[in-house]
Each structure stands twice: as C-alpha cells, then as structure tokens.
Amino acid sequence: MSLNQADLMRFLATVHPYDSLDAARMADLLPLFEMRALAKGAQVYALGDRLEGLYIVYEGEIEVSDENGIPLSILGTRNSFGERGLSKDGIAVTTAVAQSDATLLMLPKADFDALMRSEPAVARFFDRSRGAAGQQNTLATSRVEDLMTRDPATCAAEASVQEAARLMAEKRISSVCVTQGDQLAGIVTVRDISGKVVGAGLPFDTPLGAVMTPDPITLATSAIGSDVLHLMMERHIGHVPIVDAGKLAGIVTQTDLTRFQAVSSAELVSKLSRAGSAEEMAEVTAEIPRLLVQLVAAGNRHEVVTRLITDIADTATRRLLALAEEKLGPAPVPYLWLACGSQGRQEQTGVSDQDNCLMLSDAVTDDQMGYFRDLARFVCDGLNTCGYVYCPGDMMATNPQWCQPVRVWREYFRGWIAKPDPMAQMLASVMFDLRPIGGDSALFDGLQAETLAAAARNSIFVAHMVSNSLKHTPPLGLLRGFATIRSGEHRNTLDLKHNGVVPVVDLGRLYAIQGRLTPANTRARIEAAESVGVLSASGARDLLDAYDLIAETRLAHQARQIKAGHAPDNFMPPSDLSDFERSHLRDAFVVVKTMQSAVGHGRGALS
C-alpha cells in the first residue's frame, strides 16, 4: 500500500510521543520514515541481526520472541519496537515476525538517534518505556504476593480424602492445604489421591493426615516469581504454599504461572481484535484488573501502565465499530469516533466509564442520521458490556447532542469560547481532551487547530478556564496533614482522582490552550508546554515529578485493592502509607497547589 504525507501526519498525530511534536518538526520527520510491507510469517529481524532503526506498526500484528523462541509480546497498530529496549549496542536480542500481513514504518537508526537528541520529550518517552514490554510479564520482576491465589482451600488433617476430593471438584482446583489452626501442616494434591488412595485401594474415609505431604516446601510472600519457577523445576512439584510469619497466606500453582505469563496488553489487544461479539470481548477486558496489578508489580511507570490499559479500550472501540459496520453495512458518509475523558488523554486506570462522541461529514443528510444513531447505540452498549460503563453525565455518542456534523461541532466550540459560562467551561474542559479512535481523522484535524487558535486568542475564555482549573484542589490540611473526606461512604480517605490527578490534568489542559498544543495526554501537554515556553523548565520538572508521584500512588492503591479481592477505586486512607510516603505525597500536593496559585494570580506558569 502507499501512504501519502497527509495520511502519515494524521497517523503519527495519534501515536505518542510524536503527537507532542510541533507541526514544523513533524513535517521534517515525515520524509525520513520508510514503509515496509510484510506478508504473514515474514521476519522483520532475527536474533543477532544489526537493527536498522525503530519500527512502528501501521497495520497488522508483529510477534516478538526471546532467544528461546518464547513470545514476549504481540504488537499491534501504533506500537513501536526495534532499536530501543530490544537490542544491545544495535544488535537484536529478540526476533520479530509478522503474525499477519503487516505494514511497518521504519525510522532509520541515525534519524532516530538525532530525534532523541533534539527532542527531550521523545527521549524521555523511550528511555522510560525501555524494557516495559519485556517487564510486564517477567517472573523475575514480580513478587509472589502478586502471583499467588489468596485464601487457598484448606482442610483439617482429620478430614477424609473424599471430603478433600469433593472440595477440589467443587472449586475446580488441584490441591488442598492441610492446616492446624492457621498453621500449614501439609498438602494433598489430585495426584496424591489418585496414586496414594485410589491406586493403593485405600478407603475413601482415610484421613488426609495419612496421605498428605507433611511440612511441604514453602516460600515467603517476599519471594519473586522466578523463585517459584526454579523450585518447581528442581523439586518436580506443581504447588508451592506461601507462608507469611508462619501462617498460610496463599498458594502458587503451575496454572498460576502459566496464567500470569499469558496476560499482556498485547495479548489482550490481539484477542479483542479477533472477537466476534461484545460478550467475547467482555471475557478479555475482564483480565484488565489482573493486568494492572501485574504492570504495577513489575515497576512500570504510571504513564506506561495507563497507556497500555487505554490501548485495550481503543482496540475494543475499534472492534465494536467494525462489528457495527458488519451488522449495519458501510457508513453512508465519513465519520470519526472520538474519546474524551481519561481514554482521550490515554490515562485510563482500573476505574473507567465511557466518554465519547461522533463527528460526521457535513455531507450527512437527515435520512442518514438513523444509521449513526444505530452505530452509536451498538458501540456504547458493547463498551458497557465490556465494563466501560455508561457515562453518568450522558457524555456519549448515543446522546444526539454529541453525534453531529463537523459544522455543528464547530459552532459548539465557537459558542463555548465566545460565552464561557459554567456549563460552557465544563463542556470545553471535556471536549478539549478529544482524541480520534476510529474513522476519518481528517474530520478533526482542521477543527482542532482552529479551536485551539480561537481559544488562545480569547483572553476572557482563557481567564474562565483558569478559574475552572482551580475548582479541584489538592487535599492539604493544616499542620502538614491531609484534608480527608469528612463524611459519607469514603469518610477519612483521600480522593486521589478529583483532588489528586485532576488538578494536574486541569493545569495541563490550560497550558495546552495557552500554547495551542495538540496533545491530549497530560504528561505530553506539560512537556510540550515547556518546549514552547508556556511553562518554565523548573516549573515543568516540579509539576511532572509531583504528578508522577500522585498518579503512581493512585495506581498502587488500586493494585492493592484488586489483590485483596476488592473493586478498585480512587479513595485511599492515608494510613495505607508510611510516614515517609505521606510526607512525599504531601510535598507533591504542595507543588500542585503552588502551580495553581501561579496561574490563579495571573503570574502565569513561568513563575
């Protein structure tokens, strides 16, 4: 296939970190990319090859495997691979093969190195992302407490083997821990029952104490995944009880290890892209909480975790759009599905509803609007089935207000900018985070540039957006304490969303308006604001450090909840943190409050 410069520009504008580059820099970069068309099964490079540069998947799927031929990840559209993280001194330490017919964009090594030197935002992205694809599934970087099954099935030593067999059948498990109180006395597996009981002809009322493996080999919760794997291989066992301070805390089985290694964002994306219904897709998206725990446990930075989780939502949306067109037929005119909110900013965590809209070609007729109403309903219903619940504020494409031709959207933005009342501020805040997901992105390109320019020129609108950015404040109390929620279900907790990350999100959006910056991602906005002089280098560095700490505290809180068997939320008791962690989190909130004060007093972000 051929790809003209306009198509390439639109594509890269949806790929981070290229979306943080200004138009002139992007125009210089476009001619440097080389297009590679690959047939299914074709090799991009092999272990030991000297790599040509950095690859970006434009279409298709690429499987990356290690030196033993074990798949590390399956990369889809917008994923980068090659020069960074998969090589040593320019020599490939992995093998990449096309899993389907694929189209790649290749940026030669010399040009990529030059880009890294000249664009700090690009360098930061690739340096932080280096190794992330490999880390997310490595046993060596994951603690046992993130792998184990908590509250394993137990029986007393006096219980019969028949009772244990029934329990294993009911729970569909292959072992039972034998306990005395909360202490581990032994373990009985399906193999023990088949060999020691059935094979030996023992009666079914034989007590477990007579056939169990007494005092089995155990590991502590502080062990890492590779400890379990090595122990299983050395001792030829398939079950390792986990003991903490002498008490049974959990168990890790071969099934747990297999399941852990099978879950990756790339694998979920691959499954979603092949799903035939929303119900099939829901089975895949149900794995997202476990993926979040895994990514956090592996030490990935928050912007990597949220980007990978958002990629899953993007893929689910595009798959639902394709299924809708299969059901309804081809769209009568070009359209563009866009996400706003956390999906638009590529900042989704374990708690996400859906925020989306449709922009339609101005050629659409009233008779054709029914098609797009049906398309919106199909996709929004499907997303809800997948766990992205309906937006409580009805900010969805199913709302006729948010399913309109481009000319109507243009009037929306003009009206919000011209008369920035509270409702206009709220709507503008949501819609300035729009990001194309599926369809014809050209419908948005001109509108976005036009709207940013008009917003930046209107000092009254900017002033109202400054006011809007100060509505959410960090939870700072007196005497170096926190201002926790005072009443209700979440009493005595910190809201790490509305009083944590949202104040930084609002500042990032304000900087984007002031600097006419196109990125929707908060971190990319702050970096871009620094590059164009909207934000000082020291201000950007302090705000980014504060944002990183707050966002990573939020993800760690959600991961703890998931591991404990609870639904993740954004409400964290300060007591969950050590004194050291509380002190640093408060310092981060102080930085955010200081930046809010700067814009609130008209000193701007350069103060």
Q: Residue 131: what pLDDT?
A: 42
541 CB-near residues (< 8 Å, 6+ apart): none
Mean pLDDT across the stretch 237-248? 89
Spatial separation of the C-alpha atoms in residues 132 and 356, rounded to whole Å: 29
Phi, psi of 357 (to 5 degrees): -160, 170
Mean pLDDT of the chain: 87
Q: Are 372 and 396 in contact (CB under 8 A)?
A: no
Residue closest to 285 by CA, chosen among 264, 266, 313, 323: 313
Model confidence at 263, in pLDDT bands (50, 70, 90)? low
Mean pLDDT across the stretch 284-304? 87
Phi, psi of 380 (to 5 degrees): -65, -40
Q: Residue 85: what pLDDT?
A: 42
Pairing verdict, β 403-405 and 356-360: parallel
Spatial separation of the C-alpha atoms in residues 77 and 59, rounded to whole Å: 5
Does residue 134 have a pLDDT over 50? no
User: What 3 state SS string does 170-233 have?
Assistant: HHCCCEEEEEECCEEEEEEEHHHHHHHHHCCCCCCCCEHHHCCEECCCCECCCCEHHHHHHHHH
Phi, psi of 572 (to 5 degrees): -115, 125
pLDDT: which is higher, 142 or 357: 357
Torsion of CA 121, 122, 125, 131, to 10 degrees: -160
Alpha helices in 99-154 (DSSP H): 109-118, 120-129, 132-135
Q: Residue 266: what pLDDT?
A: 72
Q: How confident is the model over 157-213, as pLDDT tens digits?
A: 999 999 999 999 998 888 999 999 889 999 999 989 988 998 888 999 999 999 999
Q: How confident is the model over 96-112, as pLDDT tens digits?
A: 899 888 999 999 988 98
Q: Residue 87: what pLDDT?
A: 43
Torsion of CA 233, 238, 242, 247, to 10 degrees: -130
Alpha helices in 286-437 (DSSP H): 288-297, 302-328, 341-344, 369-385, 406-418, 422-431
Q: Are 293 and 225 in contact (CB under 8 A)?
A: no
CATH code: domain 144-259 is 3.10.580.10
Mean pLDDT across the stretch 429-433? 88
Q: Residue 71: what pLDDT?
A: 57
Pairing verdict, β 335-339 and 247-253: unpaired
The two three-digit tokens of residue 351, written as one number: 């708690």
Q: How confident is the model over 536-579, as pLDDT tens digits?
A: 999 999 999 999 999 999 999 999 999 888 999 999 999 999 88
* pLDDT above 70 as % of the chain: 91
Mean pLDDT across the stretch 217-236? 84
Q: Are 168 and 267 in contact (CB under 8 A)?
A: no
Fold topology of 1-132: Jelly Rolls (2.60.120)
Q: How confident is the model over 395-423, as pLDDT tens digits?
A: 999 999 999 999 999 999 999 999 888 88
Q: How confident is the model over 69-100, as pLDDT tens digits?
A: 655 566 777 778 876 444 445 677 778 899 88
Q: Residue 86: what pLDDT?
A: 46
How far CA 408 is from CA of 110, 291, 403, in Å, comes to 45, 40, 9
Q: Residue 221: what pLDDT?
A: 84
pTM: 0.69
Q: Residue 602: what pLDDT?
A: 65
pLDDT: which is higher, 155 or 274: 155
Pairing verdict, β 71-75 and 335-339: unpaired
Cβ neighbours of 593 (radius 10 Å): 18
Mean pLDDT across the stretch 319-331? 95
Q: Residue 124: what pLDDT?
A: 67
Spatial separation of the C-alpha atoms in residues 352 and 390, rounded to whole Å: 10
Q: Residue 264: what pLDDT?
A: 72
Q: Residue 270: what pLDDT?
A: 78
The domain segmentation of the chain, as residue ranges, is 1-132, 144-259, 470-607
pLDDT: which is higher, 52 or 480: 52
CATH code: domain 470-607 is 1.20.120
Does residue 385 have a pLDDT over 70? yes
The two three-digit tokens of residue 382, written as one number: 């499907």
DSSP state of 143: B
Model confidence at 133, in pLDDT bands (50, 70, 90)? very low
